[in-house]
Structure 1
Amino acid sequence: MHLWVVAIAALVAGFQYVAGHNAASAAADGQDRPQEQQEVWPTKSWPVSTPEQQGMDSAGLARLIETVGTYRQDSLMIVRHGKIVAEAYYAPYVAGISHDLRSVTKSVVGTLTAIQLQNGNLDSVDHPVIDLFSDKEIRNVDERKKAMTVQSLLDMTSGMEWVERFYTPDETLMRMYRSPDRTGFVLDQPMASAPGAKFNYNGGNPYLLSALINRKSGQNAFDFAKKELFEPLGIKSAKWGTVDAQGVTIGEAGLFLSPHDMARFGYLYLRNGMWEGKQIIPSSWVERAKDGKVAATNGFQYANLWWSLPDKGAYMARGRHSQLILILPKLDIVAVVTGVLRDNEFYSVSGLIDDISRAVKSDKPLPADPIAAALLTSAIQLAATEKPSAVGGTPELVKMVSGKTYQFSNILRVKNFTLNFLGSDSSWVITTYTDKTDRPTERFTGLFGLDGRYRKSPPALYGINAAKGRWINERTFAMERRILGRGEIQNWSLTFDADKVTVNFENTDGFKAELHGEMSE
């Protein structure tokens, strides 16, 4: 873009900021929205608007899309006054694919608990937990455990002894998943403090809440959600894994939603639990989530399985690897972000709030701004355009290893794999062991790009594979694989030595493994 165009866009944006600053401040102070804005319900589809029609600056949103794109993000969506003003999808991810929400799932489980209260299935959040599971023989019962309530589960202040460190093998969460009775495992945990005394992030708390849905409704959390939450909101993209041996849906993670449906869930909270004239959850529930009664970590507050930054006028559902549903009530905004950030990569929620807030210039429509609109369109297009990574040469070794099958015995349960480098489509095949007697192995296959870009495979039952690879020296081939919509990137480094291969595996969750294989006859 020519420098004079950029300069004019900057000047226009500056003038609009000065003109709209007072109106934006009035909106931030809680000025009432026009009645027609209160009646937008995106049950069937999301209305779309230009940012200027909703009092926002297209140039500011273009800058935000560019900033978000410097991280490993999949999508960004901004809704104001019930209308989409900007949405970007970062290649190779594309619109419409359900995304792994990780711990955003917890906020949904909390919401299902609120629906039980609204419907009268649950009498009170002050109900003692062990009374609700009175048929179970619960271990380590003392006065503190007797005092543990549904509310203390919702606030992560249950007081249970619990260690959660990003899915390491010895942590409490992973021991829960290995237990034949996960609900019983959580209930049996000894107490470390009195309920309500302090915040301790604990995946067992929402697991108990999910189990409670089974007891109070006769349905697992997913089936209950489909009828009581997803259907009324028009959410159709939901996927939520499998139930455990007791028929309980995983409560702490596992839910998939598309960004549009994530925004619908956030919009329910922005509208104080109301949807098309029906109170889905109590407004008092939303207020408690917004206020964040419990001091959490890193400056955040917490309540009802929602995080909040009251000083910023914001509250949010957050999940690992940058899954986010952000609510800014005074600005009448819902923002959605999905991604695959590693644990050592941070995209500041506080910075995101500031960037969105700066793009708000008025609570009323602004004049059309063709230059700023062009900047926004360009930013969205660039986000959807994949930037190729560097590619090296191709060694002679390719002719020896292409199409050959390598056998393994390892903790990843990989039986064998094959890489095909020759021909028009480079591809990989992996066979893994299963626990099923009728199908002891399972075969996965896909394409990979050798030009620095991901190649997408045809859709499979588990999703869409996207992979790319390159030779980093004469003997080592590195492949990056994704299943689009999952908050994970897999990195495979394969070093060949005659008829043997050493594979180093690492994923976004921080799991690492080294495999040793040998070429089969």
Structure 2
Amino acid sequence: MTLADLGLFSGVSQHGNFARLKDLIPTRAMAPSSKPSAWQQGAPITLPASYEFDGESRPTEQFLEDTDTAAVLVLIDGVVRYERYLLTGAPDVQWLSMSVTKSFVSALVGIAIEEGHISSIDDAISSYVPVRPGSAYDGVSIRQVLQMSSGAGWNEDYSDPGSDVWRLAAVMAGAGTADDFVATAAAQSEPGTVCRYNSGDTQALGALLTRATGRPLSDYMQEKLCEPLGMESPSYWAVDSAGMEMAFVGLNMTARDLARIGELFRNGGTWQGEQILPAAWVADSVTVASPHLEAGRPWVGGHTIPLGYGYQWWIPSGDRGEFAAIGVYNQFVFVDPASRTTIVKLSANRRYGLSEEESDNREIESVTFLRAIAAHGHAGAVA
């Protein structure tokens, strides 16, 4: 079986699949840390009973049900204050994180630069990754790829079986390899001028990491993130027919372990006193650095989205400093540094991708909901 066989974006219930993907498709395993670090448990808080969206009050429980929520985990000051599982979710379930994977890849790029495997973020990615001359990634900087601004042609419309995201899914099913997809991508716009959400860009970053480090992505992540962050459970990374990790979508992790990437970034790249990731990289990753990256400018499919973009992290509008790793079907690692809050929400919203409408995808509503949790939880923690 492959991802393409799951009936994604068709309205079919997916919570049974997302909880056991490692048993359905080829993956590469990553072991728990040799020194696992359990989260400290704090005084429980509640979720807000409702939240405001689109000019109306909406009940929390209905939203959790409508989006097929499997897990909600809330940490304040690195302490678990709320943890709940529904449907097939559980503390030991490795859930398909979808594009939350992209933010882990971004962290690995930062580490590879710090270690000297990559000379500079402004190097051309084609200096490391073989591509066809004149193709999308020929001469494009790593920075532009990180910012989803490579200029590569891309259509991320999940409701269109002919879109590029579906072509990449077919590659993962054995119709070619991910490296071939990256090497032959076609250019569409001038690099660094348009932020077009492009899973191909992240797959190119995955190719960069494997070429620069000489190691599989999962092997590098095992050493650089799973081990030092004290991962408690095994993790799994889906691979293509050639054994290349699905850098754009393939991580399967527990909610508790997914929260660690949020906490790492919330704390400026430090973990239990150790600098895992350069503080400057963290700051740059969650900063809107150019006008074309500002909220309302990035393109997803055929429409713009009211979120900004950094280095494979989404940045909600406003000056509060929030950032989020977001995956389709409503996967979130949401961080609000001002309230010292990290929230993981794992879901299987069966209406996701049926259209490009917010009423189906509930993506911006989810951000609003998570903001409400952060505000409510902080108020409860202060009280």
1:44 aligns with 2:52: no
Take 1:74 and 1:138, find their aligned partners in 2: how far apart are those partners? 42
Q: 1:243 to 1:222 in 2, by over 3 A?
A: farther
Which of 310, 319, 322 aligns to 1:314? It is 322
Q: How far is the alpha carbon of 1:59 from its aligned partner?
A: 4.7
Take 1:329 and 1:46, find their aligned partners in 2: how far apart are those partners? 18
8 Å contact kept, 2:69–2:87: no
8 Å contact kept, 1:211–1:249: no
1:121-520 to 2 correspondence within 5 Å?
Answer: 121-133=117-129, 136=130, 138-141=132-135, 146-166=138-158, 168-176=160-168, 177-178=170-171, 179-235=175-231, 236-245=233-242, 247-293=243-289, 294-295=293-294, 296=298, 297-311=304-318, 312-341=320-349, 342-343=351-352, 344-346=360-362, 347-361=365-379, 364=382, 366=383
Take 1:137 and 1:307, find their aligned partners in 2: how far apart are those partners? 28
8 Å contact kept, 1:292–1:303: yes
Q: 1:310 to 1:289 in 2, by over 3 A?
A: farther
8 Å contact kept, 2:330–2:366: no
1:69 aligns with 2:61: no
Take 2:36 and 2:263, find their aligned partners in 1: how far apart are those partners? 11
SS in 2 for 1:97: coil
Q: 1:9 maps to what in 2?
A: none
Q: How far is the alpha carbon of 1:265 from its aligned partner?
A: 1.7
1:342-365 CA distances to partner (integer Å, 9 max, x unpaired)? Answer: 21141431232034213322775x
SS in 2 for 1:326: strand
Take 2:229 and 2:133, find their aligned partners in 1: how far apart are those partners? 40
Q: How far is the alpha carbon of 1:117 from its aligned partner?
A: 1.3
Q: Which has a greater percent of strand? A: 1
Q: How far is the alpha carbon of 1:164 from its aligned partner?
A: 2.1
8 Å contact kept, 2:137–2:185: no
1:308-347 CA distances to partner (integer Å, 9 max, x unpaired)? Answer: 1141431000001110000111111100000111211414
1:227-251 CA distances to partner (integer Å, 9 max, x unpaired)? Answer: 1111111123311123442x42111
Take 2:181 and 2:133, find their aligned partners in 1: how far apart are those partners? 9
Take 1:145 and 1:226, find their aligned partners in 2: how far apart are those partners? 28
Q: How far is the alpha carbon of 1:167 from its aligned partner?
A: 6.9
Q: Matched residue pairs, number?
A: 313
Q: 2:26 maps to what in 1?
A: none
Take 1:251 and 1:306, find their aligned partners in 2: how far apart are those partners? 14
Larger radius of gyration: 1
Q: 2:87 maps to what in 1?
A: 91
8 Å contact kept, 1:308–1:315: yes
AA in 2 matched with 1:314: E
TM-score by length of 2: 0.76
Take 2:260 and 2:80, find their aligned partners in 1: how far apart are those partners? 11
SS in 2 for 1:360: helix
Q: 2:14 maps to what in 1?
A: none
Q: Which consecutive residues of structure 1, in runs of 5 or more, have no partner in the other structure?
A: 1-41, 52-57, 367-521
SS in 1 for 2:309: strand
8 Å contact kept, 1:211–1:220: no
Take 1:150 and 1:101, find their aligned partners in 2: how far apart are those partners? 24
SS in 2 for 1:69: helix
TM-score by length of 1: 0.56
Q: 1:396 maps to what in 2?
A: none
Take 1:95 and 1:327, find their aligned partners in 2: how far apart are those partners? 20
Take 1:131 and 1:59, find their aligned partners in 2: how far apart are those partners? 51
AA in 1 matched with 2:157: R
Q: 2:10 maps to what in 1?
A: none
Q: Which consecutive residues of structure 2, in runs of 5 or more, have no partner in the other structure?
A: 1-34, 52-59, 299-303, 353-359
RMSD value, Cα: 2.3
Identity %: 25
AA in 1 matched with 2:334: L
SS in 2 for 1:180: coil
Take 2:160 and 2:79, find their aligned partners in 1: how far apart are those partners? 41
1:138-160 CA distances to partner (integer Å, 9 max, x unpaired)? Answer: 1435xx85441111111100001
Take 1:256 and 1:359, find their aligned partners in 2: how far apart are those partners? 27
Q: How far is the alpha carbon of 1:180 from its aligned partner?
A: 2.1
Take 2:254 and 2:116, find their aligned partners in 1: how far apart are those partners? 30
Q: 1:112 to 1:44 in 2, by over 3 A?
A: same
SS in 1 for 2:323: strand
8 Å contact kept, 2:75–2:342: yes
Q: 1:262 to 1:353 in 2, by over 3 A?
A: same
Q: How far is the alpha carbon of 1:61 from its aligned partner?
A: 4.8
8 Å contact kept, 1:140–1:189: no
Q: 1:359 to 1:114 in 2, by over 3 A?
A: same
